[in-house]
Amino acid sequence: MRVLSGIQPTGRFHWGNYFGAIRQYIDLQDEAEDAFYFIANLHALTTVRDAKELWQLTIDAAIDLLALGLDPDRATLFIQSDVPEVSELCWLLMTGAPMGLLERCHAYKDKKARGLSADTGLFAYPVLQAADILAYDSDTVPVGEDQVQHIEVTRDLAASFNHQFGETFVLPKAKVLETSARVPGTDGEKMSKSYGNTLEVFEDPKHLRKQIMRIVTDSRPMEAPKAPETDHLFQLYCLFADDAQRGQMADTYRRGGFGYGEVKKALSELATDYFVEARERRSQLEADPRQVREILGDGAAKARKKAADVLLRAQRACGVKP
């Protein structure tokens, strides 16, 4: 199994990013025969338009992934733009990409439906994503349910190219990530940067505690029993608690006679302890930028070698190279 996944550096990672995807990406590096993970800075250009900000977010994303457990001895980590072969492969795919197929893709379609202007980068986003996947002969792509369409687009583009020019690309399959852990934001809605309701993985513990204490809760009196299954504060607590802790907290909710401040304090302590080792690793990596550059450089070299082979195969198939 060859796994490929990219993460956009559009902001610092929050709990939703980690429990929704990153934790599972890291677990997959133990199962995969080969794993490629990249920081999708070219994709991020569709939303981040400040050069210094984009570069800092890119480096922060790399450090965060390493601190959270991505092992460069078991997985290849690199920056998307360090593999220019992917951009050239994107053009080969784009020459055969039907307009109608791209017009039906969610990101472009949703933005147009809201009456917002969409640039060519957003429109062609799925083709670059297809090039990202196909460049490494990836057969497994871990995605959330909302991203399955992009893998289908990749398969369509690859199959069309193969039909036109002969067998060239491996057709990838989506590995839909386990989504049993719902990650609500501080307002109870889905945790998302666009909603401004996130709790960052590497937030300063004191500031994190303040954010947690400000989480919106209902106004039921302390003595009233409460249903844990429908409470977003309880759902956040369950992300970090073990089975025994979850059971005890659920009993407390159903019994009543407690304040939400108690739950918030317990959540703050569990969350801080959960990421303490990752926070220490991050501090070490941040203090040694040469190590981070070497990891990204080695990853890019390996990725370029593979992508160059695939690109040449595609160029020969379509007649760009003899």
Q: CA of 172: how far to CAs of 151, 189, 198, in Å?
A: 7, 32, 32
Cα 116 from Cα 255, distance rounded (Å): 49
From 111, 226, 265, 306, active-site residue: 111
Of 190, 276, 288, the residue nearest 240 (C-alpha)? 276
From 109, 175, 193, 226, active-site residue: 193
Cα 39 from Cα 65, distance rounded (Å): 10
Neighbours of 17 (CB within 10 A): 24
Q: What does the pLDDT read at residue 194? A: 83
Cα 229 from Cα 239, distance rounded (Å): 13
Active-site residue flag, 111: yes
Q: Domain 2-182+288-318: what homologous superfamily?
A: HUPs (3.40.50.620)
Where are the domains positioned within the chain? 2-182+288-318, 203-274
Amino acid at 259: G
Q: Domain 203-274: what homologous superfamily?
A: Tyrosyl-Transfer RNA Synthetase (1.10.240.10)
β-partners of residue 58 are none
Of 170, 169, 8, the residue nearest 80 (C-alpha)? 8
Neighbours of 46 (CB within 10 A): 19
pLDDT along the chain (322 residues), means of 10: 94 94 90 94 94 98 98 96 98 96 84 75 93 97 86 96 98 82 88 93 97 92 90 96 96 93 97 98 97 98 98 98 94
From 109, 112, 190, 302, active-site residue: 190
Cα 22 from Cα 15, distance rounded (Å): 10
Tokens 């078991």: give the residue: 74
Burial of 315 from C-beta contacts in 10 A (0-12 / 13-18 / 19+): middle
Q: Tokens at residue 108, please? A: 């472009």
Cα 65 from Cα 121, distance rounded (Å): 26
Burial of 83 from C-beta contacts in 10 A (0-12 / 13-18 / 19+): buried
Q: What does the pLDDT read at residue 181? A: 61
Active-site residue flag, 193: yes
Cα 138 from Cα 169, distance rounded (Å): 9
Strand residue runs (E) in 41-177: 76-79, 140-143, 173-176
Q: What does the pLDDT read at residue 152? A: 95
Farthest-apart Cα atoms in the chain, separation? 79
Cα Rg, the chain, nearest whole Å: 22
Q: CA of 9: how far to CAs of 17, 39, 44, 46, 54, in Å?
A: 11, 7, 6, 11, 7
Q: What does the pLDDT read at residue 110? A: 78
Amino acid at 108: Y
